[in-house]
């Protein structure tokens, strides 16, 4: 069965099966271009199993095509194939998961899967919120029998059993039984309601959604979510048409250890029920607040289905040749190397690895908040490292203040209890000296900063865009040679006699001493008067915590939106312009060292020279090396 066959008119359609088919047909014609649909048909039908005229895909075909490892693949110990197959079997039944799931992966079902996972449904379901969280939860969840009040009499129980036995459709996932969780019913079915409204079939949907209410309780098991997370960590840099095996073909023991560590840190952010598993409410809260881009890698993964390597559009082939063509598989030796996310520069990172970068991509935006920084083609340029440049704020100011766009600060160290911790700050605006008027950035002003902890437990503190906190005394980030680096703190008034250090303000702050040796990470469950907002309830302790950290490594990376893009200034790339600026700063520093500051009679030469340098902003408070320092 496939699209293109004749069906009853929409007015005559009344069964879930008929309406499901009609929706798939509408998705195919409205959400795919004719060329994409041609490629999808070739991919599907050249691989499909034909059983009595019924063509479908099984788990092995799906995993092999997408390059998803399963338990039979000895080269890659991820075993994510069964999880992905379970997800698509659930999504293929949309919008009747209660009655039709698990769905056989026919062509019609695969059309709906691709549209839902790539979020193309907005072209048809214009009234629907673009929110897949409820749908994704259902596709991942397992269930356990819930203790309920036995208020039903024997006749009602028997009637339900008879109705279940007489059903002609395949049994649905038990997760689809309506729950007793404390969220609104209409939240469950936002996309489904929009789909059925588009088909004028609300009454059919209502009948489907009333079945077997309040009997089961849905939970995502920790094992299921961990296996999916490990896959998402591996393929997060995936681009459209890139072979998945680029990222799965070389998962050695060390790489797998790093992947598991990041998955465990992310898992720690999801609060599990005492009975085991993750509820919908917890899943929705954590994904929305802490991992807005967690499922982004699924989009390029399933877009692979819209391009067939069998179709050579530069040559004409007759239908017989096309039907007999075999799927084209890439040999392991033909795979290119994964593209580098970090650009070459003065140092290589001792903190960032592919797994940590993937973790960052689950919550860091690009210049557009609709894309994460990997999908937005951003790159990281080395700016400052304590390993390469030493633990000096003078060196920090020279490298960081001259970087002309946003930065990513990351550090790793150990706590007083000996636990390793990795945390940092995303600062989309450039650092500047206290006397500078430069406020522009290559990244959008609408992108907010954030303070985060990556391990041992993921924690994200989003920036506060309230005008009341955007004051000179509360910069996002600030440093001086006296107090060190302060992020999310309140800066006391300047005074010659009273040099108070910056103080933590609001829900979160990070302070680093002037020697770059120790840091303090403050987190509070309350406080909306600071740069960063409190995390969602339940994600942090109910009291303010202060973590003292001995710093092992600290790095600052420059955010390069597109390293190959040219600018109006001589058609140079952003990296070339930055390097030219650094070269100029180096020449100016050399020139300042060669100035004759030897004291003459009365010290007039010293005073005159110093006055000239301070006026030019090359030394003193305005230079970033004096008392006032810089901020962002």
Burial 33-55 (b: 16+ CB within 10 A, else e): eeebbebbbbbbeebbeeeeeeb
Q: How far is CA 318 from CA 40, 323, 328, in A?
A: 18, 9, 18
Residue 427, sorted as left (phi over 0), alpha (psi -120 to 50) or beta, turns out to be: beta
Q: Compute the distance between CA of residue 23 and CA of residue 4 in angstroms, rounded to an integer.
A: 13
Looking at residue 170, its pLDDT comes to 39
Q: Compute the distance between CA of residue 228 and CA of residue 426 in angstroms, rounded to an integer.
A: 26
In three-state secondary structure terms, 145 is strand
What number of residues does the chain have?
632
Q: How many CB atoms lie within 10 A of CB 394?
A: 13
| Residue 257 burial (10 A CB sphere; 0-12, 13-18, 19+) | exposed
Q: Compute the distance between CA of residue 1 and CA of residue 630 in angstroms, rounded to an integer.
A: 66
Q: Read off the tokens for 137.
A: 């939860």
Looking at residue 614, its pLDDT comes to 52
Which one-letter DSSP state was computed for residue 125? -
Q: Compute the distance between CA of residue 330 and CA of residue 307 in angstroms, rounded to an integer.
A: 15
Looking at residue 493, its pLDDT comes to 83
Task: Delimit the domains of the chain by residue range.
Answer: 16-146+188-306, 368-564+575-587
Angle at 118 between CA 114 and CA 120, to 5 degrees: 90
Which one-letter DSSP state was computed for residue 463? B
On whether the CB atoms of residues 84 and 97 are closer than 8 A, the answer is: no
pTM above 0.85, yes or no: no
Cα–chain-centroid distance for residue 286? Answer: 12
Query: Is the Cα torsion angle 317, 321, 324, 329 positive or negative in sign?
Result: negative
Half-sphere exposure of 116 (CA within 13 A, CB side): 28
Half-sphere exposure of 368 (CA within 13 A, CB side): 7
- Find the helix packing angle between 133-140 and 280-290, rounded to 10°: 130
Looking at residue 216, its pLDDT comes to 41
Q: Read off the tokens for 299.
A: 């989009």
Written in H, E and C, the secondary structure of 520-566 is EEEECCCCCCCCECCCCCCCCCCCCEEEEEEEEEEEEEEEECCCCCE
Q: How many angstroms separate the first and last alpha carbons of the chain?
A: 60
Written in H, E and C, the secondary structure of 189-235 is CHHHHHHHHHCCCHHHHHHHHCCCCCCEEEEECHHHHHHHHHHHHHH
Written in H, E and C, the secondary structure of 16-78 is HHHHHHHHHHHHHHHHCCHHHHHHHHHHHHCCCEEECCEEEECHHHHHHHHCCCCCCCCCCCC
Cα–chain-centroid distance for residue 405? Answer: 21
- Find the helix packing angle between 222-235 and 354-361, rounded to 10°: 110
**What distance separates the 2 farthest-apart alpha carbons in the chain?**
111
Q: How far is CA 44 from CA 68, 69, 567, in A?
A: 17, 20, 44
Q: Compute the distance between CA of residue 97 and CA of residue 85 in angstroms, rounded to an integer.
A: 15
Looking at residue 355, its pLDDT comes to 96
Looking at residue 593, its pLDDT comes to 65
Q: Read off the tokens for 165.
A: 């036995």
Half-sphere exposure of 92 (CA within 13 A, CB side): 21
Residue 390, sorted as left (phi over 0), alpha (psi -120 to 50) or beta, turns out to be: left
Q: Compute the distance between CA of residue 451 and CA of residue 353 in angstroms, rounded to an integer.
A: 19
For the chain, count helices (H), then strands (E). Answer: 22, 18
Beta-carbon contacts of 355 under 8 Å, excluding residues fewer than 6 positions away, are 233, 255, 258, 259, 261, 262
Q: Compute the distance between CA of residue 619 and CA of residue 592 in angstroms, rounded to an integer.
A: 9
In three-state secondary structure terms, 462 is strand
In 384-531, which ranges are continuous DSSP H helix?
A: 386-389, 393-400
pLDDT lower than 70: segments of the chain: 1-14, 71-76, 126-131, 143-194, 196-217, 312-334, 369, 433-445, 496-498, 538-541, 562-579, 581-582, 585-586, 589-590, 592-629
Q: Cα Rg for the chain, rounded, in angstroms?
A: 29
């Amino acid at each position: 069965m496939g699209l293109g066959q004749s069906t009853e008119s929409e007015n005559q359609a009344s069964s879930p099966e008929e309406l499901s088919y009609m929706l798939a047909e509408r998705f195919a014609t409205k959400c795919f271009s004719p060329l994409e649909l041609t490629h999808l048909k070739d991919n599907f039908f050249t691989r499909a199993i034909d059983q009595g005229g019924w063509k479908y895909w099984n788990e092995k075909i799906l995993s092999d095509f997408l390059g998803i490892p399963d338990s039979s693949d000895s080269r890659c110990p991820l075993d994510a194939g069964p999880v992905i197959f379970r997800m698509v079997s659930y999504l293929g039944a949309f919008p009747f998961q209660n009655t039709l799931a698990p769905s056989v992966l026919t062509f019609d079902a695969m059309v709906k899967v691709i549209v839902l996972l790539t979020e193309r449904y907005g072209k048809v379901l214009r009234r629907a919120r673009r929110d897949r969280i409820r749908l994704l939860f259902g596709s991942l969840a397992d269930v356990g029998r819930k203790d309920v009040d036995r208020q039903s009499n024997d006749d009602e129980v028997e009637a339900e059993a008879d109705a279940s036995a007489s059903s002609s459709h395949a049994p649905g996932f038990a997760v689809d039984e309506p729950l007793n969780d404390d969220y609104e019913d209409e939240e469950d079915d936002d996309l489904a309601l929009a789909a059925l409204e588009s088909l004028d079939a609300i009454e059919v949907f209502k009948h489907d959604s009333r079945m077997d209410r309040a009997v089961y309780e849905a939970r995502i098991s920790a094992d299921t979510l961990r296996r999916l997370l490990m896959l998402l960590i591996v393929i997060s840099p995936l681009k459209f048409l890139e072979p998945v095996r680029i990222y799965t073909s070389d998962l050695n023991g060390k790489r797998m250890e790093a992947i598991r560590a990041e998955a465990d840190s992310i898992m720690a952010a999801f609060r599990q029920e005492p009975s085991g598993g993750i509820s919908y409410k917890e899943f929705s809260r954590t994904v929305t607040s802490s991992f807005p881009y967690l499922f982004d890698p699924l989009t390029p993964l399933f877009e692979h289905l819209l391009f067939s390597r069998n179709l050579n559009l530069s040559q004409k082939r007759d239908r017989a040749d096309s039907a007999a063509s075999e799927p084209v598989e890439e040999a392991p030796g033909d795979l290119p190397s994964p593209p580098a996310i970090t650009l070459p520069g003065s140092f290589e990172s001792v903190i960032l690895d592919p797994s940590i970068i993937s973790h960052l991509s689950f919550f860091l935006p690009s210049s557009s908040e609709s894309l994460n920084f990997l999908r937005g083609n951003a790159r990281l340029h080395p700016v400052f490292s304590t390993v390469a440049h030493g633990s000096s704020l003078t060196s920090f100011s020279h490298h960081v203040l001259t970087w002309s766009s946003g930065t990513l600060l990351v550090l790793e160290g150990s706590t007083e209890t000996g636990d390793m911790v990795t945390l940092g700050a995303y600062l989309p605006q450039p650092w500047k000296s206290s006397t500078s008027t430069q406020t522009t950035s290559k990244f959008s002003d609408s992108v907010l900063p954030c303070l985060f902890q990556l391990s041992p437990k993921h924690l994200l503190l989003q920036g506060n865009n309230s005008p009341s906190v955007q004051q000179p005394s509360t910069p996002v980030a600030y440093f001086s040679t006296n107090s060190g680096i302060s992020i999310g703190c309140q800066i006391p008034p300047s005074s010659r006699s009273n040099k108070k250090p910056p103080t933590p303000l609001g829900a979160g702050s990070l302070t680093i001493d002037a020697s770059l040796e120790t840091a303090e990470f403050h987190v509070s469950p309350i406080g909306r008067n600071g740069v960063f907002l409190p995390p969602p309830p339940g994600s942090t302790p109910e009291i303010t915590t202060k973590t003292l950290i001995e710093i092992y490594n600290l790095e600052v990376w420059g955010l390069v939106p597109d390293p190959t893009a040219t600018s109006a200034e001589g058609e140079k790339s952003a990296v070339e312009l930055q390097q030219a600026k650094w070269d100029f700063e180096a020449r100016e520093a050399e020139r300042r060292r060669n100035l004759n500051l030897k004291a003459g009679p009365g010290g007039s030469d010293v005073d005159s020279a110093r006055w000239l340098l301070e006026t030019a902003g090359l030394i003193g408070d305005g230079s970033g090396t004096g008392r006032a320092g810089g901020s962002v």
